[in-house]
Amino acid sequence: MSDLQPQIIKTNWPKLIAVTVFIGVIGIAEYVIRDYQSYQKYQTEIATTELANRIKSQLETELYGATFLTRGIEAYVRARKGNIVAEEINSMLQQVYQFSPYFRNIGIAPNNELRWVMPAEGNEAAIGLRYEQIPAQWTDIKKIINSGQAKLSGPLELVQGDLGLIYRSPLYIDETYWGLISAVIDAESLFQSLIKEVKEAGSSARLGLRHVNNRVSPAEIFLGDASIFNAAKVTTKVDVPGGEWQLAITTDNVFPNLWPVRILVWCLSFLGVLGLFYLTRQIYQRRLLNSLATEVEVRTQEVTAVNNKLSHVLNAASETAIIATDKNGLINVFNRGAERMLGYSAQEVVNEKTPAIFHDPEEVKEKGERLTQKLKKTISGFSVFTAIPDIEGSEKDNWTYLSKTGERIPVELTVTREFDNNGNAVGYLGLASNVSRQLRDQQVLRELKERLESATRVANLGVWELNLNNKAILWNKQMHELTGVASESFDAHYSSMERVFYPQEKQEFSEFLAKLTEKANKREPFRDDPPPLETTFRIIKDDTGELRWLKGHAIIQCNEMGVPESMLGTVLDISELVFAREAAEQAGRLKSQFLSTVSHELRTPLSVISGALSLMSLESDSFSEETQGVLDLASRNSQRLTLLINDLLDIEKMTSGKVSLKILEFEVADLVKKAVAENQGYAQQYGAKIQLDNHLSKPATVAVDELRFMQVLTNLLSNAAKFSPAGDIIQVKLSTHEGTVLIDVIDHGTGIPELFQEKVFEPFSQAESSDSRGKGGTGLGLAITKTIIEQMGGTIGFESKPDHETRFWFSLPIAVADNDREHDPLDSKEQHVDKVSSETELFNRNKVLHVEDYDDFSTIITATLRDKYVIDTARTVADAERMLAMQKYDIMVLDIALPDGSGWEVVEQARRLNPDIKIIVTSDYEVTFEGAKKVDAVMSKATFTLTQFIELIDSLSGR
């Protein structure tokens, strides 16, 4: 038995070795397989982690890049105190926009109104957009403004389509909200770049993004689906401005079935398995090293790009000195604006100097003493600039910089603490703007204000401004004097002015102000610039109760959108002028009444005298030669006095518009022949002769009053005879010109003095020469002649060469022939004259529509026109439009300020219904040039006179 035991051991040794080797090989193979499985899992986790870090880095770089670039724009706006220069901001926006391929647009919205957008192309419709007009986004925007913190919102569905991320940063200047700076990032392009990054990594990973929500409700997923977060291999938080996202990556890798490998490994040698394992390990390590090298290169490029963007932003702010320091005050940023302002180069100061080299030591010392007292601790050196920012985050103060050449530069310096991504303070940023020009402008404005105040005091000109939103009113000292409202009773509200208005003016202006205020409250813009306003109104002085007349001018001030916000105006006391005008008008009326009364009262006794002289003339044979001479003298003077009274009555009638013409059609040559014949004897008394030259190629008919026509020619021929030398031929020429008959009366006498020519047609005008005065006359003949011609639709004029020739001419329109009526004008009977006169007068009564809500003014116009025109009255826009639709009118007289709208609406309706209608505007307010072009005439009620009005109406109606 003892011999068998070793044999068994020897026999079993190869098996034991074989089993041991086999078990060892299996163990090693299993170890290799398990290690390979672990390696695959580890490699997947590493790759997924690296991929998540790259995607997170890419996201944070792009999103915080927008934040960083926007801060550069914010720094520029703060440095400019909100006064943006278009060329500078457009250049800066252009550079910032080009820094990121994912920018959709960048916008600046002062006071929530989008004013600058980059790129401009494709975004023209957004210019002028107000965020309040976007209900879907306004709630979120208002929260951002109230919080004062920038925020990234989205992804959101953009108006243009696709998804976008919107970064909005509220900008405060001097603790006052200024506006928003926004950047829209193309979310789809950004997310596609992330997905592309995943695909390029060669992994079957899937990507998910969602908002981190601290509330109970689930977080919002905006990339991927919920399954990604449930089976995520890697999740990480992505910091975004004003919020936080969660990134999840999961892989769908399916590991192969290794049982065939196991069987294969069992068949392989230990050395082959061990060698394969070693080779695999080497390949893995090499790939890991290559991946790390690539990551380092990418991160280096990203840092370089960010540094380049920062450099461009800093250099773009060429008018603002941007200087950054570390916590100890050593300068590490010195932009081009700082170089231009201070004369130092960046190489001279960066990492070499502190801001002390360009600060006035005395100013620094004084500021340190003030801070020491305020903060109850010693403040000196660099801490003078950082003590307040360390407490409040930033500080704005005025300093004096000292340039390299010693020049003293006043600046406004804003110092802000800088933090890293972990919230640790790393240094300070200073933004300095040169305020030299602002100080000079402020001084100039103060001087201009003092001069303006002095000018208003000298002119006693009241200046006021009314806020349409709250009716707050501001006015100068002269307004207190003009209105009698004492300073202590002035409550800076419209009611202070309203209580001194005369009742009628109070109602009119209150209605106008109500419409304007409603327009302002509804934010309805004017389509065109509102015209300036001019009016004359009455007030009752608050202190004395005295009635005063004021002349007011005002403009409506609108914002950039054309919405009215306030009114600015001036008032001037014109009471003395108004009272003087009223006195003059009263004197004119009294003069007319006096002339009319005296003339009529003189006619009766003059008729008696003339009759008595005529009776005595019948007994001329019984008188001596001397007595006969006295009777002739009395008769001539009686006739002269009769002519004077007739002229006075005629001029009074014409001035008051009471002349009634009986218009008939006559052949003009017959009338002229008759006038020449009747005045031939008068001309012979002065040794002159009248000669008629008829150049008419065919008979011409005119529509005139025969007696008045004869009176015109008699006046012209008698004047020519009186001023003609003995033996002179007075020429009367008949001709036609452009549809009118032209009648010339030419003499060769002394002529009309040049200085007197402009007064020829004025009443009571006579030349001052002894020769002229010796001819006698009232000085009314030519004034009457002009009025008659114009009332018959003609024109009159003259040409005079002293001591050579004088030519008076007048023209009348040729009447249209009436083939259905045959008559002989010179042989017409009285009853026929009356009939034709009545028909012609009715035909000439043009229809007038007067649109006016002031009853007294309407009554005056109606009384003035009713003898010669058919006149209707409308008080509102609605009434006027209804009457225009029912009746065709020849003339329309209207006011602009009506109770239910503007008179310009009536103008448009009238022109549309009747293009030939003549329109006259009578208004208390000044009418613009553009408005005046829409109508035929404009008369201000402030300078309105009935005589001018009647002349205007008659001229437009063709009378």
DSSP 492-552: SBHHHHHTTB-HHHHHHHHHHHHHHHHHHHTTPPPSSPPPPEEEEEEEE-TTT--EEEEEE
498-531 pLDDT tens trace: 888 888 778 888 888 888 888 888 888 888 888 8
| Most confident listed range (262-276, 473-487, 592-606) | 473-487
Helix (H, G, I), strand (E, B) or coil at 252: coil
- Give residue 609's Cα distance to chain centre: 75
If asked whether residues 375 and 485 sit together in one domain, one would say no
Phi, psi of 599 (to 5 degrees): -60, -45
Closest C-alpha to 430, from 447, 454, 411, 410: 411
Task: Give the distance between the most distant pair of CA atoms in the chain.
Answer: 219
The verdict on 477 and 566 lying in the same domain is yes
307 is written with which tokens? 């540094």
User: What integer is the mean pLDDT of 676-686?
Assistant: 86
The reply to whether 788 and 876 lie within a common domain is no
Q: Which range is most confident: 310-314, 550-554, 850-854?
A: 550-554
Task: Give per-residue pLDDT as tens, 337-354.
Answer: 888 888 898 888 899 889
Q: How confident is the model at residue 11 (pLDDT cuts 50, 70, 90)?
A: very low
* Percent of the chain scoring above 90 in pLDDT: 6
d(CA 564, CA 223): 47
Residue 278 has a pLDDT of 55
Q: Is the pLDDT of residue 882 over 70?
A: yes
Domain count, the chain: 6
Q: Is residue 274 part of a domain?
A: no
Distance of CA 186 to the CA centre of its chain: 36
| H or E element at residue 743 | strand 740-747
Q: Are 456 and 589 part of one and the same domain?
A: no
Final residue belonging to a domain, choices 609, 630, 651: 651
What is the CATH classification number for the domain harbouring 85?
A: 3.30.450.20
Please give the pLDDT value at position 793. Answer: 87
8 Å CB contact between 179 and 116: no
Residue 365's contacts (CB-CB under 8 Å, 6 or more residues apart) are 380
Three-class secondary structure of residue 371 per DSSP: helix
Q: What is the mean pLDDT of residues 207-217?
A: 68
Q: Is the pLDDT of residue 145 over 80?
A: yes
Residue 334 domain-assigned (yes or no): yes
Q: Find the CATH number of the domain harbouring 668.
A: 3.30.565.10
Interval 456-484: pLDDT, tens: 666 678 888 888 888 888 888 888 888 88
Taken in order 29, 30, 32, 37, is the CA torsion positive or negative? positive
Q: Does residue 218 have a pLDDT over 70?
A: no
Residue 46 covered by a domain:
yes
**Do 536 and 507 fall into the same domain?**
yes
- Return d(Cα 130, Cα 813) in angstroms, integer: 63
Contacts from 925-928 at CB under 8 Å and sequence distance 24+? 925/531, 925/533, 925/534, 925/535, 925/896, 925/897, 926/531, 926/532, 926/533, 926/534, 926/553, 927/531, 927/896, 928/531, 928/532
Which residue's structure tokens are 């790129």?
119
In a domain, 293, yes or no: no
CA Rg, the chain, in Å?
51
Q: Helix and strand tally (H, E) in the chain?
A: 27, 33
756, 800 Cβ separation under 8 angstroms: no
Structure tokens at 734: 């008949």
3-state secondary structure of 122: coil
Residue 586: CATH number of its domain = 1.10.287.130
pLDDT at 596: 59
Preceding amide of 119 cis, omega within 30:
yes
Strands (E), 532-620: 533-540, 547-558, 564-573
Q: What is the mean pLDDT of the chain?
A: 77
Length of the chain: 959
Among candidate residues 651, 675, 691, the one where a domain is terminated: 651
CA distance 118 to 108: 9
DSSP code of residue 815: P
Binned at pLDDT 50, 70 and 90, residue 770 comes out as very low
- Considering the domain boundaries, does residue 726 fall inside one? yes
Domain check: are 427 and 492 in the same one?
no
**Cα–Cα dist 54/301, whole Å:** 13
* H or E element at residue 664: strand 664-667
Q: Is 933 exposed, middle or buried (0-12, 13-18, 19+ CB in 10 A)?
A: exposed
The verdict on residue 840 lying in a domain is no
Both 738 and 789 in one domain: the answer is: yes
pLDDT of residue 25: 66
- What is the rounded distance in angstroms from the CA atom of residue 462 to the CA atom of residue 456? 7
How much of the chain is in helix, strand and coil states, percent to nearest 5? 50, 25, 25
3-state secondary structure labels for all residues of 169-232:
EEEEECCEEEEEEEEEEEHHHHHHHHHHHHHHCCCCEEEEEEECCCCCCCCCEEECCHHHHHCC
Q: 96: closest CA among 240, 306, 333? A: 306
Residue showing tokens 């002085």: 541
Say whether both 237 and 322 belong to one domain.
Answer: no
Q: Which is it for strands 103-110 and 176-186: parallel, antiparallel or unpaired?
A: antiparallel
Counting residues of the chain whose pLDDT is more than 70, the rounded percentage is 75
Give the span between the Cα atoms of 524 and 527, in whole angstroms.
9
Confidence band, pLDDT 50/70/90 cuts, at residue 800: confident
CATH of the domain at 874: 3.40.50.2300
pLDDT bucket at 632, cuts 50 / 70 / 90 = low
pLDDT recorded at residue 9: 43
Whether 407 and 372 share a structural domain: yes
Q: What letter does residue 125 receive in the DSSP assignment?
A: G
The answer to the question of residue 874 being in a domain is: yes
Query: Residue 717: which domain range?
Result: 659-829
CB 936 within 8 A of CB 918: yes
* 426 vs 623, more confident: 426
Q: Which two tokens stand for residue 936?
A: 């035929």
In whole angstroms, give the CA distance from residue 322 to residue 432.
7
Distance CA 28, CA 17 (A): 15
Check whether residue 74 and residue 168 sit in a common domain: yes
Asked if the model's pLDDT at residue 744 lies above 90, the reply is yes
- pLDDT of 88 higher than 90: no
Lowest mean pLDDT among 73-82, 294-303, 642-651: 642-651
Using alpha carbons, list the distances in angstroms from residue 220 to 110, 215, 223: 32, 11, 9
Using CA of residue 508, residue 509, residue 514, residue 519, what is the dihedral sign?
Answer: positive
Q: What is the average pLDDT across 779-803?
A: 82
* Residue 155: cis peptide before it, omega within 30 degrees of 0: yes
Note whether residue 256 is domain-resident.
no
Site of tokens 């007048």: 810
Mean pLDDT (whole number) for 587-611: 61
* Co-location of 428 and 486 in the same domain: no
**What's the distance, Cα to Cα, between the start and end of the chain in Å?**
166
Residues 856, 810, single domain; the answer is: no
Of 829, 861, 880, the residue at which a domain comes to its end is 829
Confidence check: pLDDT of 32 > 60: yes
Compute φ and ψ for 359, nearest 5 degrees: -115, 145
